[in-house]
Structure 1
Amino acid sequence: MVRPATQLLLAGLGVALASSAGAAVTTGESTYQSSCIACHGADGVGALPGVPDLTATDGPLAVADEVLVKRIAEGFQSAGSPMAMPPRGGNPSLSDADLKAVVHYMRKEFAVR
């Protein structure tokens, strides 16, 4: 039998974990809206010619999180694209936590089809 105090503690932990996950999505969404949407578009398919489609099965989201965060942090030019993404999406104030959050958001929002 679980004591009431233990139930309360576990319930609080669950709320804290859920809030943390929600914060990552919120931060990721706001980062995407402020730094990524101009090129990748609201739907992730690319708003400009040559911008990689985030929804493609072989697109940018097909790589591991660590690789994707590194590419966003350092800047990256996809094969066949006439332009490179600037480091940190052109926003040098983005932290590594912001980059991880935006990757989490993109994976949730643009599930590879």
Structure 2
Amino acid sequence: MLKTEIEIDSAALILKLLGDKTRLTMVKILDNHDCCVCEFVEIFKASQPSISQHLRKLRDVGLVKEERRGQWIFYSINKNNEYYPFVEQLLEQLPDQVFRLKELEEQGTRITCC
């Protein structure tokens, strides 16, 4: 794998964004699974405006992308983002979060908006 460097200012910005536990968990989930805001509302037991604000911050730096499917917007990690290789190294150190999605499935609330 080609090793790339990023500027200190950029690294500090990314680390500041991912220093928030909710955003870090979101990015870990999105690394392998597309999610809708409503799913994150259920996972984090947070308000829709709060979840949308977290996603907006991640989207503003290009780490997260959105795709409209009907009336719903799904989010995924942007693996083409210039900072993704840096973020990927961090994500590899974290435990899998798929259990959060499995809990939603068990509760019948996974992708309830679709």
Larger Rg over CA atoms: 1
With normalisation by structure 1, the TM-score equals 0.37
Report which of the two has the higher share of strand.
2
Taking structure 2 as the reference length, what is the TM-score of the superposition? 0.36
Instruction: Tell me which protein shows more helix as a share of its residues.
Output: 1
